[in-house]
Amino acid sequence: MKIVKEFENLESRSIGFVPTMGALHDGHRELLKRGRAENELLVLSIFVNPTQFLEGEDFSKYPRTLEEDIKIAKEIGVDILFLPDVETLYSGDEVSILAPKIRGFILEGKGRVGHFNGVLQVVLKLFNIVKPHKAYFGKKDAQQLILIESMVKNLFLDIEIVPVDIVRDFDGVALSSRNRYLSKEERKLAIKIPKALTTGETLLKSGNSLQSTKRAMLSALEDLEIGYVEIRDRNLNLLQKFEKENTIILIAVKVGKTRLIDNIWL
Ligand code: AMP
């Protein structure tokens, strides 16, 4: 495996790309395995992107576990591990990318104005440097995945975005680099999140209204500080009623000081 801070694509082989912020876990592993199986060359990037963190968020505290990450990358057969410096990617006063006016500023973008501008900006830069044929993103970050799919379509980028299912822990909690912030007790409380999602799934599939489903989910999440519980279609528009194969239930909560997101695609 080559580890590089600068990347030059001179490849004629098919390239699969997995962009991450590191602190790799089995969710990232799943993306990498798919990428390994489907491409001749597999590129992993680890970059904690300052422009997607807002004032007061955990940018400086974000877990950085490079030694471990390198081991995982080698084990899976990553060909190139790209570790850009901030100065390589950003030059200061520069052209910016604006997330879609509506879908970029709801859910994760609502309390965190500018977050998706930063996400799309860094992903576009990384795409232009790595020039992948396929890029792998987790459904865990549903809104991010949908906005990246939109960017690829709207800007006519020649890249296939491959969505990957959410990888969960033994008790249903979605794996996340931020789970390591949780105390033992908080980790137990977090089980309420996947439970609320499966409650939502059962209720919607058995014909309950969106409102009553949402109410039941909110009570399943008691004791947690709720950011949002929303039921939307796969393009993030509001729904009037449950639509099979076109519904996502999205949750954001705070468990102690840690903000966690999760969702289910129905
Ligand atoms: P991050 O390092 O948190 O920016 O995540 C990098 C990629 O891994 C993103 O595409 C995430 O959606 C994906 N990812 C994170 N957690 C999971 C998970 N539990 N299951 C599947 N994909 C995930």
Give the binding-site residues of ligand 1, using a 6 Å CB cut-off: 20-21, 27-28, 30-31, 137-138, 140-141, 164, 166-167, 174-177
Top mutation candidate among 26, 30, 31, 178 for ligand 1, by most atoms within 8 Å of CB: 31
28 has catalytic annotation: yes
Ligand 1 atom at shortest distance from the alpha carbon of 19 = 6
Domain ranges, residue 142 = 2-164
In a domain, 137, yes or no: yes
The type of residue at 182 is: L
Same domain, 25 and 110: yes
Same domain, 148 and 250: no
> Tell me, what CATH number does 83's domain have?
3.40.50.620
Ligand 1 atom at shortest distance from the alpha carbon of 168 = 19
Number of domains in the chain: 2
Same domain, 147 and 223: no
Q: Helix 115-130 vs helix 142-154: angle between axes, to the nearest 10 degrees?
A: 60
Ligand 1 atom at shortest distance from the alpha carbon of 46 = 2
pLDDT the model gives residue 41: 97
- Residue 52 CA, ligand 1 centroid: distance in Å: 15
Q: Find the range with the poorest average confidence among 15-19, 52-56, 230-234, 250-254.
A: 52-56
- Residue 221 CA, ligand 1 centroid: distance in Å: 23
- Residue range 2-17: mean pLDDT, rounded: 92
Same domain, 60 and 155: yes
In a domain, 248, yes or no: yes
Same domain, 38 and 122: yes
- Residue 219 CA, ligand 1 centroid: distance in Å: 27
pLDDT in tens, 62-98: 999 999 999 999 999 999 999 999 999 999 999 999 9
pLDDT in tens, 154-207: 999 999 999 999 999 999 999 999 999 999 999 999 999 999 999 999 999 999
Same domain, 24 and 141: yes
For residue 111, what pLDDT band results from cuts at 50, 70 and 90? Answer: confident
Sign of the C-alpha dihedral computed for residues 114, 116, 117 and 118 taken in this order: positive
The residue whose CA is least distant from atom 14 of ligand 1 is 138
In a domain, 171, yes or no: no
Q: Which of 242, 251, 248, 252 is nearest to 265 (CA)?
A: 248
CA–CA separation, 81 and 22 (whole Å): 11
* C-beta of residue 27 within 8 angstroms of C-beta of residue 137: no
For residue 9, what pLDDT band results from cuts at 50, 70 and 90? Answer: confident
pTM: 0.97
Mean of the per-residue pLDDT values of the chain: 97
In a domain, 170, yes or no: no
> Tell me, what CATH number does 242's domain have?
3.30.1300.10
Same domain, 122 and 239: no
